[in-house]
Amino acid sequence: SRLANQTYQSDQSSSWTREISDEVKNRIKQLKLNRYKVVVQTLIGEKRGQGVRFGTRSFWDPNTDFAASETFSNENLFAVVVAYGVWTYY
């Protein structure tokens, strides 16, 4: 993982989220799901012994649209990535 040996740095978290989101989006695009709009959301935070809840809500067609998520954690930080694929009708 890109974050495996990192400590949380607020000044770096913005670029890390952008880089991770772009990488996930590019990997999904390699699947050639041409009729899908892909949206990737990444959250990185510092671990300080607190609990974290992350929720999303979407309006979509459950027959064609999808979402997938992955979490990562080390001693210093956590990350959550959610990828959405929304079918585009022509």
Rg of the chain, C-alpha, whole Å: 15
| Averaged pLDDT for residues 8-25 | 95
Mean pLDDT of 75-90: 93
In the predicted model, is pLDDT for residue 28 greater than 90? yes
Average pLDDT on 23-52 reads 93
Asked if 8 and 76 count as a contact pair (C-beta separation under 8 A), the reply is yes
Q: What angle do CA 25, 80, 39 make, to 5 degrees?
A: 30
Q: Give pLDDT tens digits for 42-80.
A: 999 999 888 878 788 888 899 999 999 999 999 999 999
pLDDT band at 2 (very low <50, low <70, confident <90, very high): confident
The whole-number pLDDT of residue 46 equals 94
Q: What is the mean pLDDT of the chain?
A: 92
